[in-house]
Structure 1
Amino acid sequence: MHKQPTNGENYYDYICIIDFEATCEEGNQPEFTHEIIEFPIVLLNTRTLEIEDTFQRYVKPEINPRLSEFCINLTGISQALVDKADDFPKVLQHAIEWMEQKELGSKYSYSILTDGSWDMSKFLNIQCRVNRLRYPSFAKKWINIRKAYGNFYKMPRSQTKLSSMLENLGMDYDGRPHSGLDDSKNIARIAIRMLQDGCELRVNERLHGGLLLSVSSSTPIEGAPAPQMPKLR
């Protein structure tokens, strides 16, 4: 069941900022399968404009269980962290249970927000195929903050990287770059400023049949459904 937004000013009661970290190799090898190794969620209350809570779990990769030195240096995620982590289906279950505890999609309306399209359309999409899971219904629509930022502040695409957005708003990066949780917190800071400046953060992208599609700003507002564990394909 979809929880309809009741907050006319901000559209959603909460925004869930998600910025995955994934296995990677230097040089972006096209045949390399990226697997999620960090699953963070930052819960932003759109009424108080405060980060209310955070979720973070590391994930044990299956196809490439040994992290490259490049990946370790980039993300700060050690081999020991992923070796003792749960596999993705179990981590996804933990994330869903956490969202259920927050009554997202039942008592409160919410939307996912990401820094670009890749987190959902690529990383989560690939991960679900690897684990033979159906793509989660709650993650089929999201706010791409890069697109929203560019449209609201009239900035070119080259100025919508995380570091550029922070710099243009007079903010310094707080934490360790390419830590999924720290990235998510910094994206939340940008979202807070945009809401303060009067931006209407609305869903602007969706995944349909595996294809990435834009969502018109005139599309009726609808909160994401209550999260449920997807079934096997």
Structure 2
Amino acid sequence: MRVLRRLLTARNFQVCRMATAQGTFPTVKDQHFDYFLVLDFEATCDNTQKIIPQEIIEFPVLKLNPKTLQVESVFHQYVQPRAHKELTPFCIELTGIVQDMVDGQPHIEETLEKFHEWMKTELLDKDASFTFVTCGDWDLKTMLPSQCRHFNIPVRPYFKSWINIKKSFADVTGEFPKGMMPMLHKLQIPHRGRHHSGIDDCRNIAAILKGLLEKGYVFKNTGFST
């Protein structure tokens, strides 16, 4: 009996290993979207006064396939602020973005056009379904709409719905997290890179997304704007 049990255990392990090698994940359920777009803006900021308008200075997005749990494409652009061209010492210390990284870069209008071209190539022309994934509602409910409103830039419809991964995490664990770091800790996922680097935060949010997918969670949009 013990021999049979060992054989069955070995057989199950072999099947599991083969499934992983083939890119399938039995615990991951079918999702409502073909792709998840993990997004995390960094913006101008200060610790002594409120900056108006606040402007995006880093615009990163990861395109993640829920069937393979792989990031298939990356959009990453530093953005030159227009109203407050000089980054504050606090902003530099928080984000790791120095002045040379934004000087000479596209302004937000050109960045949004570049992103739309990426979207057409990666998703829109392929008629693939997708939604954004953010850590909180600030990026797409507050930051992008307020900056676009200030500079009279239209917001494309695809920015108007998203998943706040904090709410998804709460659905799975019963605990609403304060931020990204507690979610990583709860899921026993090591933090990668620099906190408040937009591209590094995207990678860590993607790791949380994968962790929840592997627990069998089916994601749905949680945030909407008009």
TM-score category, normalised to shorter length: 0.7 to 0.9
Counterpart residue number, 2:183: 165
Counterpart residue number, 2:150: 130
Counterpart residue number, 1:80: 100
Match of 1:49 among 69, 79, 91: 69
Aligned letter for 1:207?
Answer: S
What are the within-5 Å matches in structure 2 for residues 3-18 of structure 1? 9-18=30-39
Any runs of at least 4 consecutive aligned residues in structure 1 with deviations exceeding 4 A, and if so which?
none
- C-alpha separation between the residues in 2 aligned to 1:31 and 1:89? 20
- C-alpha separation between the residues in 1 aligned to 2:125 and 2:222? 19
Quote how far apart the aligned CAs of 1:110 are: 0.6
Aligned letter for 1:26?
Answer: N
Q: How has the CA–CA distance of structure 1 residues 95 and 31 changed in structure 2, closer, same or farther, with 3 Å as cutoff?
A: closer
Aligned letter for 2:53?
Answer: T
* Residue deviations 1:140-163 (CA, integer Å, cap 9, x gap): 0000101111122101x3x34100
- C-alpha separation between the residues in 2 aligned to 1:22 and 1:30? 12
Q: Secondary structure at the match of 1:94?
A: helix
- C-alpha separation between the residues in 1 aligned to 2:125 and 2:132? 11
Quote how far apart the aligned CAs of 1:172 are: 1.6
- 8 Å CA contact 1:21–1:37 kept in 2: the answer is yes
Matched, 1:196 2:196: no
- 8 Å CA contact 2:44–2:51 kept in 1: the answer is no
- 8 Å CA contact 2:53–2:150 kept in 1: the answer is no
* Residue deviations 1:105-126 (CA, integer Å, cap 9, x gap): 7421111111100001111011
Quote how far apart the aligned CAs of 1:206 are: 0.1
Q: Secondary structure at the match of 1:201?
A: coil
Q: Secondary structure at the match of 1:200?
A: coil
Q: How has the CA–CA distance of structure 1 residues 31 and 59 changed in structure 2, closer, same or farther, with 3 Å as cutoff?
A: closer
Matched, 1:101 2:134: no
Matched, 1:24 2:45: yes
* Residue deviations 1:126-177 (CA, integer Å, cap 9, x gap): 110132112221110000101111122101x3x3410000000011210111
Q: How has the CA–CA distance of structure 1 residues 164 and 152 changed in structure 2, closer, same or farther, with 3 Å as cutoff?
A: same
- C-alpha separation between the residues in 1 aligned to 2:161 and 2:202? 18
**Larger RCO (CA under 8 A, 6+ residues apart):** 1
TM-score by length of 2: 0.84
Structure 1 gaps of 5+ residues are 1-7, 209-233
Quote how far apart the aligned CAs of 1:201 are: 1.0
Counterpart residue number, 2:171: 151
Quote how far apart the aligned CAs of 1:99 are: 1.3
Q: Secondary structure at the match of 1:181?
A: helix
Quote how far apart the aligned CAs of 1:39 are: 0.4
Identify the structure with the greater helix proportion.
2
- C-alpha separation between the residues in 1 aligned to 2:123 and 2:97? 30
Aligned letter for 1:185?
Answer: R
Counterpart residue number, 2:201: 183
- 8 Å CA contact 2:56–2:81 kept in 1: the answer is yes
Q: How has the CA–CA distance of structure 1 residues 163 and 177 changed in structure 2, closer, same or farther, with 3 Å as cutoff?
A: same
Structure number with larger C-alpha Rg: 2
Number of residue pairs aligned between Structure 1 and Structure 2: 199
* Residue deviations 1:167-207 (CA, integer Å, cap 9, x gap): 00011210111110110111011001101101111101101
